[in-house]
Structure 1
């Protein structure tokens, strides 16, 4: 193993040496060694690029390109200095100038020009374009990838560590392709520099040879031209290797094996193309004048390779086995996962996914997580993860909230705007709307007008706050439906850790988890928090000895939670109530009948309509005085009255007398008498 200290100092020291090479002359023998190192390193980089499984496995490649390009240019400068000063730049350059090109200046120039064309116009140009497109598409795909990661995290498919790793990978991929876009420019500039350096060597060599050394024109051309061409070839070979590695990296797709294995496997995966290519090569042998042996050998190799390909049946069997092992999309497990319905979902139109893009300042997902914690603290339930995704079916600037796959609410959140709520918004440009939770007049105004709207007395809310508030309202309204059997089991186990006796007395000895769930759902349906499970379970264990009627059990739990139930309705320590006249209440008690969903008050329709009308009038009068009244009645009647009142007066709470113990004062704002009922009758 290489010492860590050496790894830390190796590259910085190398960069210092490269800069030194630009100004300090090198002996010819040292230059030979560095040229050999340059060619070998370029070959190593090419092979590493071929053996990586994905581009990010060679994330240091852009930096490697820069360092090797500077190293090669430094070698060019050192070689030029030796060529012009001594007429000799080491054995490597001399050999390339005489042996490789046969000592011919024309051949050397042609070979050098061809290498430049291959590198500059074919490999470098293509790699530059692929890197540019890859960088743009990678950056464009970042918000969608981050949204998918956060959606998987919210749905519980991955944990925080895995989500953090994936986010890091997305950012690393964007940084890599952005760096590759710039690194390809280094390769392109290196090719241009090679042309200029070679021309400088040629012209400078002629001038030095004839003017300073007194050489004849022909001798100067022969000596310095071959050295210049040799230097150019020595530089272009590693440059060609490095530009080829650049092309391989930017065109490499993520795979399970190295590039060579992928290419060979995919080229030889089907025998039909191999057979056609083989017979086509043999058919070319029929052309008069062409040599037969090369085409026969090539065709024979293709036909031999086609015999090594597995037959279609075996291939299909192998594919089926791979699909079984990799959990193909049609396995029962994955199909079951696909058809599962998310309890709670949030869909965004594609144009507002910036709300979940952390790079653009979007913090909606963090707010949703905080909302889940807030609701858990307020209601005492475990809110299921919110599955967040984009949907092309939604209109522009629209979001939708789904409950068990069914859309229950929809709103708008136009990009670049904030929601101004108030009565004096006509002076501000914007899109008029209504606040989705309270139905207040509002307007979506440009974000830069926020301060002006606040100065006009408006309440300004950002888009993420609008969505999270709307989501909180939906969760509160449907908390009973969101409380599943597994959630009840989890909550019960939490109580068991601190109060094991309470749980052991209640379940399963007296009530099943399903019956406990029904009681908790009954409490949540009326906005009663179930945080104090210990008090609830104690009350249920006592009442369950007598009856298992859900309404009776709910009333027992409510009685135990009396102070907590009445607390939200207190105003300066007093609760304002609407009660029933004793005679009417007795008549309603006598009219209580069991129903499929619980007890109901079976009054005459006209009588019931009259009672609801009087309740509505009393509530309206109280609200005009700034009060928030509640309806109170006997505990035996409360559940039935709630079912009667809920359709017409949804937001009016119905409490029992026993639940008022938490109020210091009880003030009556009205009594429902029998007067209107009698007149109606």
Structure 2
């Protein structure tokens, strides 16, 4: 154990001994001056700290100083009542205040005590109480802000951990300060009581045991009592003031000894000020050699602590980088306001427990798993999701934005479960009717009491975190093509180039630019086709990219190359595929109305034929929906993308496949034919 840590422990033991063992007058004077010196240092440090962690030991230090001061009160009271003497310091302070009129001196002392108790102590206590309450209320929001910055990539895990620890320490500090302020208040009350005891019992002991007259007893004990009260209340006043100043600091992780010595003596220059103050006290009738000795010790300590320490030279480039960083952080710089998060999840204050780990929320962990799951399913690195609370939303409402545009929203009841209907409504199940947000299924919000009953009735019951996680997953899948830009495409190409350098060089930058590749990949994602198998997609682009730069045609070729993947994605477990086929007449009508231009081809169909085709598709899709089958339309390769373009606006959920996108071994079962009347 270091000597400075041991000195603090010995100091605490000395305080305990002081409460029991009588001390001589000269030692009391030494301890009283030490108490004043510590109070001066504390208030000077509290006024010069610029960051919260610089004086985090203050709550514990406040307790120790209060205990030290009370120990001095007990020792001086024992000396005053038993010997009518409490050392030169107490007697000098009493003489200065009382002078020739004990009553006037006592009134002045009473005013000082009232100021200490009603103004400083009371105010510090209130500030500590309010700060503690508001800090604890703000903890969830601060933690969510840290998690959001982590998800957005603004900070790394180590920085996030440090910030979380800082918030925890702030909460600990404010709780400790709220309690420590009660020590200050109790110390002020105890000081008043001790003064009354000294005067009352001093008169009794002086006249009855020491044979003093009433005037002699009142003069002697009033002088000693006021002197004792002053040397106690002046440090208490300084500490109370420091309490109000330091109340916004946070706690640290160090032990008490190292924190006291490191933080209390952080500013050596302040020790010179304290040393000079104590030396000036020596110019009064107080023991000159005693004050001079203490002042010399403080001055030597300041000199020793302020010795120059060899610091490593800072690189000039590092200084320039730091200067640029400070400029970027200046209030005038608004460049950061132009950035937009790819994915944002906002929620009302009623849903804060979803993301608050202290309240059991696991939304952040679920989003991490969602990103991993979608990376495997789609072959796309999903950007980090920025999570924040939004007071403009209803308490139980949440919103999901893609590149600044709201694409989905919903409401949750955290103390309920979502029960999805098995197909037949059960009126015996009590709940709030709603719609399942991800798939639009009819559902009910039910309480935990009827959860088991709903499960026995065939309902699918899920908790709110699972509901919102599923919704986020499906929305990101649906809008994945919006998240794939040229920069993201370049990252995918660079990753592929590490394994297939020749293949990548054959595709880009010639004959296809990154923008062309991005369009092909985005079109695949738009129709729910995974781009994880990039080597096959690039093989196709290498084969056909020299023949055409039409990204629609290249997408169709890529789809045909991914026939095995597409078949596995949509075929049932028994290797069968139920589809709605497109009649020959419809195929012929569409083929005849394809217009070729230098920028590509498009479908130019007359409104009547268009309505007939849409009406026929609507009837067949409705029949499949009643059978709870996924609507899939099968057509020829030459017309697939045009049929998809025609139906996408009216039936976005309908899947359109071509014969070339299916493996030969799959069994195709036609459940309807699209015709024109």
| Alpha-carbon shift at residue 627 of structure 1 (Å) | 4.3
1:14 matched residue in structure 2: 11
Deviations 1:524-562 (A, max 9, x none): 010011111122112211111222221221122222322
The correspondence for 1:126, drawn from 105, 123, 138, is: 123
Note the 1:382-393 alignment, pairs <5 A: 382-393=381-392
Note the 1:419-438 alignment, pairs <5 A: 419-422=418-421, 426-427=427-428, 430-438=431-439
1:496 matched residue in structure 2: 497
Deviates more, 1:50-59 or 1:6-15: 6-15
Provide the C-alpha distance between the structure 2 equivalents of 1:620 and 1:251, rounded to a whole number of angstroms: 65
Deviations 1:387-418 (A, max 9, x none): 33333433342222222322222211245444
| Alpha-carbon shift at residue 238 of structure 1 (Å) | 0.8
Deviations 1:426-467 (A, max 9, x none): 555543211111212223345676556545543333333322
| Alpha-carbon shift at residue 182 of structure 1 (Å) | 1.9
1:136 matched residue in structure 2: 133
Provide the C-alpha distance between the structure 2 equivalents of 1:195 and 1:68, rounded to a whole number of angstroms: 18
- List runs of 5+ in structure 2 lacking aligned partners: 251-322
1:176 aligns with 2:177: no
Provide the C-alpha distance between the structure 2 equivalents of 1:216 and 1:330, rounded to a whole number of angstroms: 77
1:43 aligns with 2:20: no
2:355 matched residue in structure 1: 356
The correspondence for 1:68, drawn from 58, 65, 68, is: 65
| Alpha-carbon shift at residue 241 of structure 1 (Å) | 0.9
Note the 1:28-39 alignment, pairs <5 A: 28-39=25-36
| Alpha-carbon shift at residue 597 of structure 1 (Å) | 9.3
1:102 matched residue in structure 2: 99
Deviations 1:198-226 (A, max 9, x none): 21222232333344444444433333332
- List runs of 5+ in structure 1 lacking aligned partners: 254-320
Distance 1:565 1:129, change over 3 A: same
Q: CA RMSD in A?
A: 3.1
Deviations 1:265-314 (A, max 9, x none): xxxxxxxxxxxxxxxxxxxxxxxxxxxxxxxxxxxxxxxxxxxxxxxxxx
Distance 1:251 1:613, change over 3 A: closer
1:187 aligns with 2:188: no
Note the 1:186-335 alignment, pairs <5 A: 186-250=183-247, 325=327, 331=333, 334=334
Provide the C-alpha distance between the structure 2 equivalents of 1:571 and 1:565, rounded to a whole number of angstroms: 12
Contact 1:38 1:238 in 2 (8 A): yes
| Alpha-carbon shift at residue 330 of structure 1 (Å) | 5.4
1:47 alignment partner, SS class:
helix
Provide the C-alpha distance between the structure 2 equivalents of 1:449 and 1:415, rounded to a whole number of angstroms: 15
| Alpha-carbon shift at residue 363 of structure 1 (Å) | 3.1
Provide the C-alpha distance between the structure 2 equivalents of 1:46 and 1:465, rounded to a whole number of angstroms: 53
Contact 2:640 2:656 in 1 (8 A): yes
2:296 matched residue in structure 1: none
Q: TM-score, structure 1 length as denominator?
A: 0.80
Contact 2:35 2:235 in 1 (8 A): yes
Provide the C-alpha distance between the structure 2 equivalents of 1:596 and 1:144, rounded to a whole number of angstroms: 55
Distance 1:240 1:626, change over 3 A: closer
2:662 alignment partner, SS class:
helix
| Alpha-carbon shift at residue 192 of structure 1 (Å) | 0.3
Deviations 1:589-633 (A, max 9, x none): 444334799645555544444444444444444555554453223
2:639 matched residue in structure 1: 637
Provide the C-alpha distance between the structure 2 equivalents of 1:323 and 1:670, rounded to a whole number of angstroms: 65
1:498 alignment partner, SS class:
coil
The correspondence for 1:593, drawn from 589, 592, 595, is: 595
Q: TM-score, structure 2 length as denominator?
A: 0.81
Provide the C-alpha distance between the structure 1 equivalents of 2:562 and 2:596, rounded to a whole number of angstroms: 25
Deviates more, 1:209-218 or 1:398-407: 209-218
Contact 2:596 2:602 in 1 (8 A): yes
Distance 1:191 1:564, change over 3 A: same
Deviates more, 1:608-617 or 1:51-60: 608-617
Contact 2:379 2:532 in 1 (8 A): yes
2:315 matched residue in structure 1: none
Q: Which has the higher contact order (CA 8 A, sep 6+)?
A: 2
| Alpha-carbon shift at residue 70 of structure 1 (Å) | 0.9
1:343 aligns with 2:345: no
Distance 1:424 1:380, change over 3 A: same
| Alpha-carbon shift at residue 572 of structure 1 (Å) | 2.0
1:635 alignment partner, SS class:
coil
The correspondence for 2:150, drawn from 150, 153, 158, is: 153
Distance 1:328 1:83, change over 3 A: closer
Contact 2:63 2:183 in 1 (8 A): yes
Contact 2:378 2:531 in 1 (8 A): yes
Provide the C-alpha distance between the structure 2 equivalents of 1:228 and 1:483, rounded to a whole number of angstroms: 81
Contact 1:112 1:233 in 2 (8 A): yes
Deviates more, 1:11-20 or 1:111-120: 11-20
1:402 matched residue in structure 2: 401
| Alpha-carbon shift at residue 497 of structure 1 (Å) | 1.9
